[in-house]
Amino acid sequence: QQAQTLDAIAAATTAEAVEAIRVAALGKQGWVSALLKTLGGMSPEERQAKGPQIHAAREAVTAALGARKAELETAALDARLAAEAVDLSLPAPEAPRGSVHPVSQVMDELAEIFADMGFAVASGPEIEDDWHNFTALNMPETHPARAMHDTFYFPDKDAQGRDMLLRTHTSPVQIRTMLKEGAPLRIIAPGRVYRSDSDATHTPMFHQIEGLVIDKGIHLGHLKWTLETFLKAFFERDDIVLRLRPSYFPFTEPSVEVDVGYTLVQGKRVVGGSGDAPGGGWMEVLGSGMVNRKVIEFGGLDPDEWQGFAFGTGVDRLAMLKYGLDDLRAFFDGDARWLNHYGFAA
């Protein structure tokens, strides 16, 4: 039985098989244990004769079990090491890479262009009060322009009893910056704005950049030069032609809407050249004007001493124009395929 057991141990190929053999030999019901029990019923002489044999058998089986177990463990470890070997010379798999969203990219471009012209960046809260968003911009409570803004209001007023809302434009930053920093000023204020409106060219949240210059002797010529310089830099073309149309905003007087000329190149609208050229046209890109005296007063400044111009433009629309995109909503879908298609993702 000892020879049989030793053969079985040598033939075992798994830890489970070795364990089964151990139980069959050394377990409570095992044959070695049974032999050991017989020792108690033997005469001393008999025990002296058989005892060493039985103990030797137990030792031999125990040693063989331990050796085979160790062998199997070593083999298993070798197999694992071979299977899990890391080849450090292989190139690493490429992980998908993120990229800057086109709107953020355009915001950065604009901030850079205006920084070159000496404009600092200012900001204000997206949750605004009715006074900064409307009243101080020369839109008193009954002003019809308030209704045109499709404003998102909050149900509760603030501590001063002012209606709270999501700002409908970045113009309240004009007021906040004048009140905080005084004059002279040369700032842009990029940020999110909100109106309850949604179609291919409107989303309930969109991005504007406000510009404000307050100084002495500022006139419309400064405004025109600034806008021309900025649009040429942004569209990276020298042949940008602007059309200034008289318009109306409560916070500027006079007010000017600015169109940029485009021409058709292979059926696509490309910014540049006069919009009056055959096949061409004009696209509105900006609202602007000389800051209304009342707004300068609301900003805590004396309008006889300080003058200025202001402008506001939709960042998303500028991005659409520059990159030839046609549905504004795609900007906010977060679809990586769309970003890839337009070359914004890596």
Q: Which residues are annotated as a binding site for Mg(2+)?
A: 253
Quote the least distance from Cβ 249 to ligand PHE, whole Å. Answer: 4
54 versus 175: smaller Cβ distance to ligand PHE: 175
For ligand PHE, give the closer residue by CB, 30 or 172.
172
Residue 194's identity, in one-letter code, is Y
The residue with its CB nearest to ligand PHE is: 312
- Which tokens go with 234? 């942004």
Q: Tell me the two tokens of residue 255.
A: 């007010």
Q: Which neighbouring-strand residues pair with 164?
A: 129
Minimum CB separation from ligand PHE for residue 263, in Å?
26
By CB atoms closer than 10 A (0-12, 13-18, 19+), residue 112 is exposed
Considering the complex, state which of residue 12 and residue 230 has its C-beta at the smaller distance from ligand PHE.
Answer: 230
DSSP 245-314: EEEEETTEEEEEEEEEEEEEETTEEEE-B-TTSTT-EEEEEEEEEEEPHHHHHHTT--TTT-EEEEEEEE
CB of 339 to ligand PHE, least distance (A): 27
Q: Which is nearer to ligand PHE, 2 or 288 (CB)?
A: 288
Phi first, then psi, for residue 266 (nearest 5°) are 50, 45
Q: Shortest approach of ligand PHE to residue 102 CB, angstroms?
A: 21
What are the C-alpha distances in Å from 9 to residues 22, 33, 67, 73, 77? 9, 18, 9, 14, 20
Within 10 angstroms of residue 278's Cβ, the number of other Cβ atoms is 6
Q: Which is nearer to ligand PHE, 130 or 210 (CB)?
A: 210
Q: CB of residue 118 vs ligand PHE: minimum separation in angstroms?
A: 19
CB of 289 to ligand PHE, least distance (A): 5
Comparison of 55 and 294: residue with beta carbon closer to ligand PHE = 294
Residue 242 near residue 258, CB atoms below 8 Å: yes
Binding residues: 253
Coil, helix or strand for 64? helix
Interface residue list for ligand PHE (CB under 6 A): 169, 171, 210, 249, 252, 287-289, 310-312
Task: State the Cα torsion 15-16-20-25 to the nearest 10°.
Answer: 10
Q: For helices 44-83 and 15-26, what crossing angle results, to 10°?
A: 170
> Nearest distance from residue 227's CB to ligand PHE, in Å?
11
Which helix H or strand E contains 62, and what residues bound it? helix 44-83
Q: Decide whether 288 or 307 has the Cβ nearer to ligand PHE.
A: 288
